[in-house]
Amino acid sequence: MQNKLKVSVNSFSYKRGIPVDKSGNGGGFVFDCRSIHNPGKYDEYKKLTGKDKEVISFLEKDGMITIFLNDVISIVSKSVDVYIQRDFTDLMVSFGCTGGRHRSVYCAEHLALFLRNKYSIEVELTHQEQASW
C-alpha cells in the first residue's frame, strides 16, 4: 500500500523564525528570498502581499525571482520524485524573507501551484504571517 506524499509549503518572516516541521521528521528545505529586490521598501507595496498583481509585476520585472524559483523548482522536484519512489509521506519547503509578506509569499504560491500541476500529491500551503496582513 502506497502512502501519498504531502508537501507543506510555507512562507515566513525571518524576524519570527523558521516554521517548525509538524510531521516529526525535523527538516525540509528553507529558501532565503532576501536577495530578491524587496517591494516592502516602497510605500505603494507595503500593505499588499506577494499575491497582489502590483507586487507580482514588481517582483517579475528584473527577472531575478524567476531565476531563483527555477532553481528551487529543480531542487524540490528531484526530491519529490525520490520521496514518491521511496514512499515517504512528508516534505516541508519554506520560503523566508524580511516580513514574510511579499517575496516569500510569491515564491510559496508559485511552488505550490507548480507541485499541484505536476504531481498527484497533497500540497498544503501556509503563509505564517497572514494573520498580520
Q: Which three cell numbers stand for residue 17?
A: 523564525
What order of strands is seen across the sheet that includes strand 29-32? 29-32, 90-97, 6-13, 122-127
Instruction: Please count the structural domains in the chain.
Output: 1
Residue owning grid cell 524573507: 97
Within-domain flag for 118: yes
Within-domain flag for 1: no
3-state secondary structure of 20: coil
Within-domain flag for 89: yes
> What is the value of pTM for the model shown?
0.95
Eight-class DSSP state of 34: T
Instruction: Give the Cα separation of 53 and 57 in Å (integer).
Output: 6
Q: Which three cell numbers stand for residue 128?
A: 505564517
| Tens of each residue's pLDDT in the chain, 133 residues | 457 999 999 999 999 999 999 888 888 999 999 999 999 999 999 999 999 999 999 999 999 999 999 999 999 999 999 999 999 999 999 999 999 999 999 999 999 999 999 999 999 999 999 876 6
Domain that includes residue 102, residue range: 6-132
